Amino acid sequence: MARGIKAKMITGSQSATGSFTQLLFSGSTTCPRIEFGNLVNPVDNGNYNLITKLKSLSHGTYLDGPIAKFSVAADGGVIAYYHEGTLINVQ
């Protein structure tokens, strides 16, 4: 893993905001919302490319960033790789 990159497991019905480099899907996961782009501060001033309703992403599927925001449906989980110090919110 590259220097300064951390990982966090995001599971069922959670969303996250940060500077994500990659998402690794665990199980068959539905991702109702992903916003691609470089995170800016404040977050709402960013120009992100919104993708909705990604369904049935297979176990072991990777999505490469930059990703600023995403959410996971109740049926799965994601290991989110992010730049250290940039994880703003997980709820």
Ranges under pLDDT 70 in the chain = 1-2
Q: How many residues does the chain have?
A: 91
Percentage of the chain beyond pLDDT 90 is: 38
Helix (H, G, I), strand (E, B) or coil at 43: helix
Q: Do 65 and 20 contact (CB within 8 A), yes or no?
A: yes
What's the CA gap between 29 and 6, in Å, rounded? 21
pLDDT at 2: 64
Output the six-digit token pair for 67: 């990703």
Q: What is the pTM of this model?
A: 0.87
The full set of domains in the chain, from first to last, is 5-86 (2.60.120)
Say which amino acid occupies 20. Answer: F
